[in-house]
Amino acid sequence: MKRVDVVLGLQWGDEGKGKVVDVLTPRYDAVARFQGGPNAGHTLEFDGCKYILRSIPSGIFQGGKVNIIGNGVVLDPILFRNEAEELAKSGHDLTKRLCISKKTHLIMPTHRLLDAAYEAAKGANKIGTTGKGIGPAYTDKISRNGVRAGDIFLDFKNIYAKAKARHEAILSSLNYPCDVAALEAEWFEAIEYMKRFSIIDSEQTVNDMLAADKSILAEGAQGTLLDVDFGSYPFVTSSNTVCAGVCTGLGVAPGRIGEVYGIFKAYCTRVGSGPFPTELFDETGKRLRDIGHEYGAVTGRERRCGWLDMVALKYAVMIDGATALIMMKSDVMNDFDVIKVAVAYDTPQGRTTVFPYNIESGVTPVYREFKGWKCDLRKVRRYEDFPQEFKDYVSFIEQQTGIPVKIISVGPDREDTIVR
C-alpha cells in the first residue's frame, strides 16, 4: 500500500509550493489539495510561460495525472470557473482529470461580504485577509451551516437560500450593505459549469488509489505559521495548514503519510498583519522585496521581508514532522555581503529558542551571521558546484533542524531546481 507524500509551507506562505509540486509531479499518479482555497496563489513557470493557480492543484501541467480538490478545501465556484476557463484557453482542458470532493465547502458571494465586514469591524486590528471569504466559509463549516459541492445535486436552491438568509442577518447586524444580485447570477452559472467535472467521494478515490499502489502528492496552501492552531493566532488563516491537515482534508489515516517535504525560502516573507520577528524595515528588506519580486500573487500586496528565522523554522519542522527540506529563492541573496539567521529570541523572560506563545508582544531576534556567497546561483545545476559559503548556509540549516535539504531552487523556472 502506497503512502501520501506531502509538500507544505514552513513559513507564512508563498514559499514556492506551486513550483515544487510541479517539479515533483512526474513521480506521482495524483496531486491533491487538502485545505485552503483561493486565498492561495501558486506560481509555476516553464517553457517561457507563467501560471498562477489558486484552487486548482499544481499537478495539472505534467502529463495526464489525476488532480483532486479535497474535502478540506473551500472552493469559490466563480473563481474556480475563471481559473479553469483560463487554463482551457491556453490548451489545458481539465474536465477529464480534475475531480472535486462532494464534501468540499463552497464559498458564497455573501462569504466575501462577511470577510470584508469582519475586517472592517476589526479596524486597526484587522487580519489583512485576502478578502476571498475564507474565514466565513470555514466558520460555516465548523458551525455546521456550510454548503457543500455534493449539495448541488440536492435541493440546492433551498440550501443556498437558507445560508444566504443567515449571512444577510449577520451583515445587517454589522450595518454592512448586502448586494449580491449580480454576483449571485454569476455564482449559479459557475455552479452549472462545475457539473462538467467529476464531483466524487474523494476520500474513497484517494484510499482506493493507495490500495492499488498508486502514489499521491498532497499540496499544501499557506504555511505552518498561518495555521489556525499553531500559527500566530489570530493573524492566521482559518484552516489547518500543517501536516495533520492532510489527514482530515483528504481522508487519509495518519499512518498513511509518507515523506513530508517542508518548504521554506532562504529568508522570510509575510503578507497581511501579524508578528514577524525578523522583519527588516531598512534597505536590506527593500532589497529582498525588489530582487525577490515579493508582491502577493493574488492580491499584489507588498510582502514584508526579513531574515530566515530558525526558531520559527524548527517549530514548523516539529509540528509537521518534516522528513525532507526544500530551500527556495537562495538566488535572491546572490549579491549580499552578509546574511543573517535568527537562532534565538530575547524576551522579557530571558533568551529562548522555543517559539513563544505571545510572540506579538515583541521579541528581539538574536542573529548568527554568514558570509554571502557573492555569485550567481542561478547558473548552478549540481550541488557540488555551489560555492562553499552557500554549502555552509545549507549545512547550518540541516544541522539545526536535523533534516536534510533535498531540493534547492535557484530561480522561478522549473529548470532552476537542484535535486540532491
- The span from the CA of 126 to the CA of 344, in Å, is 28
Query: Which range, of 197-205, 293-301, 352-360, 373-381, touches Mg ion by CB under 5 A?
Result: 293-301
Nearer to ligand GDP, 45 or 186 (CB): 45
Query: Which range, of 106-114, 168-176, 199-207, 410-418, touches ligand GDP by CB under 6 A?
Result: 410-418
Please give the angle made by the CA atoms of 20, 295 and 394, to the nearest 5 degrees: 45
What minimum distance in Å lies between the beta carbon of 418 and ligand GDP? 10
The candidate with the shortest Cα–Cα distance to 113, out of 96, 97, 94, 137, is: 137
CB proximity list for 276: less than 8 A, separation 6 or greater: 12, 268, 270, 304, 306
Rg from Cα positions in the chain: 21
Q: Please report, as ranges, the residues that interact with ligand IMO according to CB under 6 A.
A: 9, 12-14, 36, 39-42, 127-130, 132, 134-135, 221-223, 226, 237-238, 271-272
292 is an interface residue for Mg ion by CB under 5 A: no
CA distances in angstroms from 31 to 118, 141, 253, listed in the order given: 34, 24, 17
The C-alpha cell at 363 is 521579541
| DSSP line for 326-390 | EEE-GGGGTT-SEEEEEEEEEETTEEESS--TTGGG--EEEEEEEE---S-GGG--SGGGS-HHH
What minimum distance in Å lies between the beta carbon of 262 and Mg ion? 16
Nearer to ligand GDP, 29 or 416 (CB): 416
297 is an interface residue for Mg ion by CB under 5 A: yes
| DSSP line for 151-174 | GGGSSHHHHHHHHHHHHHHHHHHT
Nearer to ligand IMO, 226 or 260 (CB): 226
111 in active site? no
Q: Are 74 and 106 in contact (CB under 8 A)?
A: yes
Q: Which of 5, 22, 42, 140 is catalytic?
A: 42
* Range 37-56, binding Mg ion (CB under 5 A): 41
What minimum distance in Å lies between the beta carbon of 396 and ligand GDP? 19
319 is an interface residue for Mg ion by CB under 5 A: no
37 is an interface residue for ligand GDP by CB under 6 A: no
Nearer to ligand GDP, 180 or 288 (CB): 288
130 is an interface residue for ligand GDP by CB under 6 A: no
Site pattern 305..344 for ligand GDP (x: CB under 6 A)? -----------------------xx-xx------------
Q: Which of 5, 14, 22, 76 is catalytic?
A: 14
- The span from the CA of 266 to the CA of 8, in Å, is 15
For residue 394, the partner it binds in ligand GDP, ligand IMO, Mg ion, none, with Cβ less than 5 to 8 A by kind, is none
* Range 260-299, binding ligand GDP (CB under 6 A): 292-293, 297
* Range 96-125, binding ligand GDP (CB under 6 A): none
Q: Are 99 and 205 in contact (CB under 8 A)?
A: yes
15 is an interface residue for ligand GDP by CB under 6 A: yes
The C-alpha cell at 304 is 514584508
The candidate with the shortest Cα–Cα distance to 36, out of 245, 312, 272, is: 245
140 in active site? no
Binds ligand GDP by CB under 6 A, chosen from 3, 45, 94, 299: 45
The C-alpha cell at 151 is 449539495
The C-alpha cell at 91 is 490548451
Nearer to ligand IMO, 77 or 272 (CB): 272
The candidate with the shortest Cα–Cα distance to 178, out of 140, 147, 150, 136, is: 136
Binding site for ligand GDP (CB under 6 A): 9, 13-19, 40-43, 45, 292-293, 297, 328-329, 331-332, 409-412, 416
Catalytic residues: 14, 42
